[in-house]
Amino acid sequence: MSTSRKGGGAWRRRQEKDPYVQMARRDGWRSRAVYKLQQIAEKEAIIRPDMVCIDLGAAPGSWSQYVVRRLQERVRLIAVDLLPMDALPAVEFIQGDFREDAVLQELLDKLADRPADLVMSDMAPNISGNKAVDQPKSMVLAELALDVAKKTLRRRGNFVCKLFQGQGADAFITDTRQAFAKVKVMKPKASRPGSNEVYVVARNYQL
């Protein structure tokens, strides 16, 4: 789920000047967000050959694309999003809202033979610019991602989730620490300057 592109021309000018946008185009990635996952993965050993991975809010697919490319397709990856996503090798795509029972059940059915090793979420709400409205929406998405992780991860599995600092964030981190042995909060260099986004990297699921 991507943020809304308010500001029209200003947003486009910022995009054109963004070095990560330019790098993504040069290197054939679907979005600049790929570099956030890359920078996290360089510090935390969360991506391994032959893993089962779930990508929540996957479209346009740069995180899935990174995992597949890095592992040379030695991965089973299930991507979920409300929006359509162009096909990727080694990726099974579910288009739908995983808050709906039927969509969640489809995901669980795909994992019937083996639970996930990694659940990752780069979801963000459509941004209105009103923090009092946007922050609760972002927390709902983070909490939903954590709930899916608890339903789908194997014991000692890992979880990566975008989180916006603000009301509810500390409580979310506390909840995550109750379920995982090791939790870090990271801000990749690829996050935009001035953004209050961070990433919760939780390892070794315990429940």
Ordered domains of the chain (ranges, CATH): 9-205 (3.40.50.150)
Interatomic CA distance for residues 135 and 41, integer angstroms: 26
Contact 169, 181 (CB under 8 A): no
From the list 131, 162, 182, 189, the catalytic residue is: 162
Clarify whether 131 is annotated catalytic.
no
Q: Mean of the per-residue pLDDT values for the chain? A: 92
Predicted local confidence at residue 187, as pLDDT: 97
Predicted local confidence at residue 9, as pLDDT: 66
Q: pTM (2 decimals)?
A: 0.91
Q: Is the pLDDT of residue 107 over 50?
A: yes
